[in-house]
Structure 1
């Protein structure tokens, strides 16, 4: 049995945002934000494993899940920070919040917690490593590639059935059980007019952004975080695919973690990058121990 969730729709900076809630209104809050090509329902298994009395609030980011798409040809990363700021002002205007982010969401919360340190009680970052550091000389080709991508409309492939969507999820993450894959497929996709099942993500998210990743600016934000941070990595993560070869990337990640004033680092065994799907019970215990 899953803990029941309820949906709410909120106007966030002109877009109709879907926000999922679990637990008792009035209980201590945990705001959970998902990663790229994911949805708020992704946290269901972690919520099911929580033992305490919590009010969990999880939005679908703009252009994902049931939230409205921006209508633009490019999604700009700072918009996620401003969206999160508006959501926190709505649900917790006068209190510091427990904030958790996974992957892309982890990158958002790391920046946000540095820009608004007073708004964060405790911060939990699940594999929000960032990206490889860029060099200025990469800019010309980056802009050219971005303009090239504007010439073709982005597309999402369709799937013949929910079972096919579940199989696709398990192909990406072989640790995903059949039951969890079926649950996620129902929230991760919807049937279109042609009867095909489409992923609930704006295809424009697949386009690269034109701006380089400035790791020094990100680290300045991390350094400004005043809340205690729980940093969780999976032993079998595939982050080396985007961070580079493990020996060099490990050194860079540890260097970045050195910018956090108060951080606990945890490694999760028998889990990959989608650690909230692979070991939700272990993660729930980590979360509650940290928030206590």
Structure 2
């Protein structure tokens, strides 16, 4: 199993970092795969399935640290983190790399970004694989004023909130285990190793604290459905039995609007692609998808 190759790509207004698997598979005929992680995660989110996909299907996988996460740049002072900004970032990255088309592999928030990208720029997305997400979180029209008020209040309070410091690396791993999405020690370790930075006396997260501020504005459900309707790429949606999408009505509604989508429910939690006990099954499901859509996988 191959080790990842770290990369750093300097764009005009930011630097995107990440991990790459399958460099030897790079070809003009097969588009690269951009892997997009979830909220407060980083590119190490794909450390279990990416090497399998690269080896078995000959994929060239670029797992990026989304802006504000991992080792990538933070947005300029005074900025918010709108989910659609990531679509702009991806488009700029593609232009810088000379990529006309890509395959997208997204988890959670990354799946939401991938959905928007595939709907807004269908000519640039060849295949779409979604893990535990289809479209972003929404705010309905009547709740929009409250959403803006909450975001503004949180932004004003941010300077008064002290960042969490850890005296030991192990303490940070345990904190990640018990975060918003509870995960195993092994899964948390992978994310923590990339997402933590060390000073002379302590450890703290490299992610921008502004990521925890609620978005001032979100899409409505009708708007997200409009993106789903515009997706042309063959799409694979994998959800977890103990994940976040199990009881969401809009999962089925959104899925039905995507012209060429297959949906499979697998064992595991929200990070089923990173958990040692379930990652291999997720990888096999993705191999089946890529193979069915034109690739020869071993």
TM-score by length of 1: 0.88
Match of 1:69 in 2: 74
> Are the equivalent residues in 1 in contact too, given 2:183–2:271 (CA < 8 A)?
no
> Are the equivalent residues in 1 in contact too, given 2:21–2:51 (CA < 8 A)?
no
Once residues 165 and 75 of structure 1 are traced to their aligned partners in structure 2, the CA distance between those partners, rounded to angstroms, is: 24
Match of 2:15 in 1: 16
Once residues 97 and 146 of structure 1 are traced to their aligned partners in structure 2, the CA distance between those partners, rounded to angstroms, is: 33
> Are the equivalent residues in 2 in contact too, given 1:13–1:83 (CA < 8 A)?
no
1:190 aligns with 2:197: yes
Aligned pair count reads: 279
> Are the equivalent residues in 1 in contact too, given 2:115–2:227 (CA < 8 A)?
yes
Once residues 63 and 137 of structure 2 are traced to their aligned partners in structure 1, the CA distance between those partners, rounded to angstroms, is: 28
1:44 aligns with 2:47: yes
> Are the equivalent residues in 2 in contact too, given 1:155–1:203 (CA < 8 A)?
no
> Are the equivalent residues in 1 in contact too, given 2:139–2:147 (CA < 8 A)?
no
Question: CA distance change for structure 1 residues 166 and 225 in 2, over 3 Å: closer, same or farther?
Answer: same
Once residues 160 and 231 of structure 1 are traced to their aligned partners in structure 2, the CA distance between those partners, rounded to angstroms, is: 40
Match of 2:251 in 1: 253
Q: How does 1:49-198 map to 2 (within 5 A)?
A: 49-50=52-53, 51-73=56-78, 74-91=80-97, 93-94=99-100, 96-130=101-135, 133-152=138-157, 153=159, 155-172=162-179, 175-176=183-184, 178-193=185-200, 195-198=201-204
Once residues 155 and 206 of structure 1 are traced to their aligned partners in structure 2, the CA distance between those partners, rounded to angstroms, is: 13
Structure 2 unaligned residues grouped into runs of 5+: 292-298
Question: CA distance change for structure 1 residues 286 and 210 in 2, over 3 Å: closer, same or farther?
Answer: same
1:273 aligns with 2:274: no
Once residues 142 and 175 of structure 1 are traced to their aligned partners in structure 2, the CA distance between those partners, rounded to angstroms, is: 29
Once residues 167 and 217 of structure 1 are traced to their aligned partners in structure 2, the CA distance between those partners, rounded to angstroms, is: 38
> Are the equivalent residues in 2 in contact too, given 1:123–1:228 (CA < 8 A)?
yes
Q: What does the per-residue CA deviation read over 1:64-100, in whole Å, with 9 as the maximum and x for residues that have no partner?
A: 0000111334112221001111222334523x32211
Q: 2:214 aligns with which of 208, 225, 241?
A: 208
Once residues 92 and 218 of structure 1 are traced to their aligned partners in structure 2, the CA distance between those partners, rounded to angstroms, is: 29
How big is the shift at 1:180?
4.1
Question: CA distance change for structure 1 residues 103 and 21 in 2, over 3 Å: closer, same or farther?
Answer: same
Match of 2:296 in 1: none
Match of 2:231 in 1: 225
> Are the equivalent residues in 2 in contact too, given 1:100–1:109 (CA < 8 A)?
yes
Match of 2:294 in 1: none
Once residues 152 and 23 of structure 2 are traced to their aligned partners in structure 1, the CA distance between those partners, rounded to angstroms, is: 47
TM-score by length of 2: 0.86
Question: CA distance change for structure 1 residues 109 and 57 in 2, over 3 Å: closer, same or farther?
Answer: same
Once residues 147 and 255 of structure 2 are traced to their aligned partners in structure 1, the CA distance between those partners, rounded to angstroms, is: 28
Once residues 174 and 79 of structure 1 are traced to their aligned partners in structure 2, the CA distance between those partners, rounded to angstroms, is: 27
Once residues 93 and 48 of structure 1 are traced to their aligned partners in structure 2, the CA distance between those partners, rounded to angstroms, is: 22
